[in-house]
Amino acid sequence: MPWRLCHGGSYGLMGNQYCPACLGEKGHHQLQWSIAIYTCCLRHNCFLRESCPHCGKPFRSASRFLNSAFVRSEKDLQQCAYCNRSVANYAPSERADKKTLRLCHVLASLVRKSNCESFFGVLARLLYVMCRPSTSAKNLRAQMLPDSHQMTSRHQSGSPMNFEYLDVKSRAYMLEAVVSLFAEWPNYLIETLRSTNPLHYHLHLSNDLPSWYERVERVAMIPNSKPKPSEREKLLQVATRQGWITAVQFAEEARNTADFFHGRLV
Ligand SMILES: [Zn+2]
Ligand SMILES: [Zn+2]
């Protein structure tokens, strides 16, 4: 399953996030906690937590037995499998900033729309390119992410490798950087594709990208050209029709925020 969170360590070990307050109130895990694009709890406006606050180990609970008859009680779900202490309601999780919450909200609503599949296809490719351990991906991250934020990966190599291996805040920042490419749709993505070869090259390699992306790329391949107003209008219509215009709007807002980190690429 794409977007499934990874812990690092042995291959295939899935990660788990949780909100301590939700776990206390409802007693059970939520499906979206295991999905990498979810970084916050929108009920409690906090970052999701990934480790046990008592022993510091990546959080593992009786969730191993989720969907099975082996779960004995709510307590099992709230207890850390390593130290057996309850993580429910224990120490409030760090509050998330407004921008992170807003993006989490936008993505959470897009996930539920079946016609946003192609948007997530492109998003997945952009994240894939950004998270490679190569030097070019490293340069790309340096250009697109704030200096203050170091990527933290749970992969045993310590490199990002894949988006799914990043810790919660790294994922939140990475998503902001990648979704910000949709600002001034499609101009900013065109400029970025043109100025960053690795991005362009890797996206070009995939043959499962939607036709709207291919149109954007065709313009990007012609130096100094911009899409004609009619073409831009059509691309905006696609985003509206498919429902991911909210991601474009998020990118606009983010770009207009003075403290936002990009603009260095262009
Ligand atoms: Zn919560
Ligand atoms: Zn523990």
Is the distance from CB of 104 to CB of 40 less than 8 angstroms? yes
Surrounding residues of ion ligand 2, Cβ less than 5 A: 52, 54-55, 80, 82-83
Question: How many whole angstroms from 53 Cα to the centroid of ligand 2?
Answer: 7
Q: Which ligand is in closest contact with the Cα of 44?
A: 1
Ligand 1 is an ion; residues with CB less than 5 A from it: 19, 21-22, 41, 43-44
CB 144 within 8 A of CB 177: yes
Output the CA 163–ligand 2 centroid distance in Å.
25
> 178 CA distance to ligand 1 centroid (A)?
25
Query: 57: CA distance to ligand 2 center in Å?
Result: 6
Sign of CA pseudo-dihedral 13, 154, 263, 95: positive
Nearest ligand for residue 56 CA: 2
Q: 9 C-alpha to center of ligand 2: Å?
A: 17
Which contacts (CB < 8 Å, 24+ apart) does range 196-200 have?
196/140, 196/143, 196/265, 197/136, 198/129, 198/132, 198/134, 198/136, 198/137, 198/139, 198/140, 199/126, 199/129, 199/140
What pLDDT sits at residue 42?
95
Q: What pLDDT score was predicted for residue 223?
A: 85
One-letter-per-residue 3-state SS of the chain = CCCECECCCCCCCECCCECHHHHHHHCCCCHHHHECCCCEECCCCEECECECCCCCCECCCHHHHCCCCCCCCHHHHHECCCCCCECCCCCCCCECCHHHHHHHHHHHHHHCCHHHHHHHHHHHHHHHHHCCCCHHHHHHHHHHCCCCCCCCECCCCCCCCCHHHECHHHHHHHHHHHHHHHCCCCHHHHHHHHHCHHHHHHHHHCCCCCHHHHHHHHHHCCCCCCCCHHHHHHHHHHHHHHCCHHHHHHHHHHHHCCCCCCCCCC
d(CA 173, CA 180): 10
How far, in Å, from the CA of 87 to the mean position of ligand 2? Answer: 8
**How far, rounded to the nearest angstrom, does the alpha carbon of residue 257 sit from its chain's CA centroid?**
20
- What integer pLDDT is reported at residue 254 of this predicted model? 85
Distance between Cα 109 and ligand 2 center (Å) = 32
**Cα of 20 from ligand 2 centre, angstroms:** 13
Taking the centre of ligand 1 as the mean of its atom positions, its distance from the CA of residue 30, in whole angstroms, is 10
- pLDDT by residue, tens only, the chain of 266 residues: 467 887 665 544 556 899 999 988 988 788 888 899 999 999 999 999 999 999 998 887 655 545 545 555 666 778 888 898 999 888 888 999 999 999 999 999 999 898 999 999 999 989 988 888 888 888 888 888 877 677 888 787 877 778 988 999 999 999 999 999 999 999 999 988 888 877 777 777 677 789 999 899 888 888 888 899 999 999 999 999 999 999 999 999 888 775 554 444 43
Tell me the HSE value of 245 on the side-chain side, using a 13 A CA sphere.
Answer: 11
For residue 86, report the distance from its CA to the centre of ligand 1, in Å. 16
CB-CB contact of 124 with 179 (8 Å):
no
Distance 77 CA to ligand 2 centre (A): 12
Determine the pLDDT at residue 70: 53
- pLDDT for 187: 93
Residue 232 is predicted with a pLDDT of 94
Q: Which ligand is nearest to the CA of 95?
A: 1
Ligand nearest, relative to CA of residue 33: 1
Task: Indicate the pTM of the whole model.
Answer: 0.87
